[in-house]
């Protein structure tokens, strides 16, 4: 797996990351969603540099100009529900991509820190031999992404996979490296050092789904 850690280099991305982490600013759910969306746009722009391109002539009112355009067949798949603002940010740039959605959540059968990942819903076009963009804002343990990968395998084999995440933990990044194909790219804005005993990223930002859409039962 090839890891692209964007916050290793300073950019305007730092502003949006700082705001989604800030306990005062993140109380504004509209601003939180918009910042996740903007981070998705930045990640999408960087990701676009790794796609395949060919020359196409565009006719202007005064002549023709050759432009390099991507010819990848893109399928943008987001993990519900936290992935929706990130999905929108990517879709703002890859507006001709096909769209897919999958649900994955933590189930605590014993009401303790132990959990399993449950995948219950998947709606998608064919992903066979296409470029799959897999969007999940929080890469904590990495178990959700691996469960999603296993669930979608029966629907086809992507030509390549690009994982798009906002904040991750070193442990989660290491975990998925061994589970995804070697040619997978991980595009991630920020990587934190650790997880707590409940498997949440520290310092992280809290629950991205709750901050974007409200607390759940």
**Considering its fold, how many domains does the chain have in total?**
1
Structural domain boundaries enclosing 143: 2-51+72-203
Residues 15-73 have pLDDT tens digits of 999 999 999 999 999 999 999 999 999 999 999 999 999 999 999 999 999 999 999 99
CATH number, domain containing residue 144:
3.40.50.2020
Instruction: Judge whether 115 lies within some domain.
Output: yes
Q: Which two tokens stand for residue 191?
A: 């990587």
Instruction: Judge whether 212 lies within some domain.
Output: no
Q: Which two tokens stand for residue 47?
A: 């990701």
What average pLDDT does the chain have? 93
Instruction: Judge whether 117 lies within some domain.
Output: yes
pLDDT exceeds cutoff 80 at 187: yes
Handedness of CA 4, 40, 100, 121 (dihedral sign): positive
The reported pTM is 0.91
Q: How confident is the model at residue 108 (pLDDT cuts 50, 70, 90)?
A: low
Indicate the DSSP class of residue 27. G
Residues 124-167 have pLDDT tens digits of 899 999 999 999 999 999 988 998 898 888 888 999 999 999 99
- Report the chain's C-alpha Rg in angstroms: 18
């Amino acid at each position: 797996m090839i890891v692209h850690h964007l916050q290793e280099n300073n950019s305007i991305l730092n502003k949006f990351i700082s705001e989604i982490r800030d306990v005062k600013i993140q109380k504004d759910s509209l601003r939180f969603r918009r910042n996740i969306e903007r981070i998705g746009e930045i990640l999408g722009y960087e990701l676009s540099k790794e796609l395949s391109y060919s020359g196409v002539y565009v006719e202007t009112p005064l002549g023709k100009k050759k432009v390099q355009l991507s010819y990848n067949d893109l399928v943008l798949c987001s993990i519900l529900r936290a992935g929706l603002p990130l999905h929108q940010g990517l879709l703002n740039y890859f507006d001709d991509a096909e769209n897919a959605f999958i649900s994955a959540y933590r189930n605590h059968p014993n009401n303790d820190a132990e959990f399993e990942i449950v995948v219950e819903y998947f709606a998608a076009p064919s992903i066979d031999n296409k470029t799959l963009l897999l969007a999940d804002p929080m890469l904590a343990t990495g178990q959700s992404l691996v469960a999603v990968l296993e669930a979608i395998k029966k629907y086809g084999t992507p030509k390549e996979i690009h994982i798009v995440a906002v904040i991750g933990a070193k442990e989660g990044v290491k975990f998925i490296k061994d589970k995804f194909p070697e040619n997978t790219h991980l595009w991630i804005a920020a990587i934190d050092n650790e997880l707590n005993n409940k498997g949440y990223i520290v310092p992280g930002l809290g629950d991205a789904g709750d901050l974007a859409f409200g607390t759940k039962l």
